[in-house]
Homo-oligomer: A and B are copies of this chain.
């Protein structure tokens, strides 16, 4: 009973909303209030959260603390997930310095690049090491998730290197289709494709071009 990615992504979003409510001292919230406060769908919330053993009671709502605990456990966020960034260019460096990749159960513990001018320098707290030493760096840091921010032409060989070194998941930002290894979870994040989605809707939008 594996949860499909789109639903998982909504659960991540609910968890974030619930945490911000907890910070505000809110102890209970209904699906309707949750929906209104965060511009979500109440029906979708009820459907998504039903299978975790409905904590909600009509008119009373969800117990914020209990639901946070359940979602955290479900998403595997009570464990530490160290990250290695392969390709410390603009995007890799931005991610290495970002709060999202360095909070809660995630932390960038290593970065590698093949540019001699970058090797040995630091971005935020991350020392940039030689990409040729990737296997050793993964072993030493016990990096579990690889973040691939290299040009398309270098993506497959670096992906293969990460897999051989033992990482268990890869987030691929290179705009190319990888031949994936069995048993390693991978996800493509292609920001250009998100832009093209906007392009499609713009050609059909009724909002006048100024």
Contact = CB atoms under 8 A, between A and B. Distances in A.
Interface residues of A, number: 70
Number of copies: 2
Question: Which DSSP category, helix, strand, loop or mixed, fits chain A's interface?
Answer: mixed
A198 B38 CA distance: 24
B9 A197 contact: yes
A100 B77 CA distance: 32
17 contacts: A8-B197, A9-B193, A9-B194, A9-B196, A12-B196, A15-B196, A17-B177, A40-B177, A74-B200, A76-B200, A89-B94, A101-B191, A106-B195, A142-B209, A168-B209, A169-B202, A169-B205
Given A90-B97, A168-B205, A171-B198, 7 more contacts: A39-B179, A75-B196, A81-B199, A91-B94, A106-B192, A183-B205, A187-B197
